[in-house]
Amino acid sequence: METDCTRCELPLSMCEHGLRDRTAKTAGAGAEKLLISPTGLAHFGGCPHKGDDPDLSRWAEIRDENAWLKLANGESLPATDGADLALVARARCLDCVNHGPWR
């Protein structure tokens, strides 16, 4: 059965809200590298939260094309690269979710 949008009551496959959610979910699919902040948030490279600070000594990376979608599905992903391999990405930066990759 089709889910109706809670905002406009059209089926999600037809309304703009559903479209926006689907776009936001898949925008980062295929990003070859994500950054993990010291707080466990996953970002696309170039996120303004990182700003101009080039210091990545407390950050880590995930190299997995499906990482963004896995995180969208609620999975936690351990760092595969970068300075702090003990980091685990548990959620996605909302700015990155809304914006998609920063390039």
Binding site for Zn ion (CB under 5 A): 5, 7-8, 15, 17, 43, 47, 49, 93, 95-96
Residue 32 CB, shortest distance to Zn ion, in Å, is: 17
Residue 55 CB, shortest distance to Zn ion, in Å, is: 16
Phi-psi region of 61 (alpha: psi -120 to 50; beta: other; left: phi over 0): beta
Q: Which CB, 64 or 95, lies closer to Zn ion? A: 95
Tokens of 83: 């300075």
Q: Which CB, 49 or 63, lies closer to Zn ion? A: 49
> CA 74 to CA 25: how far, in whole Å?
12
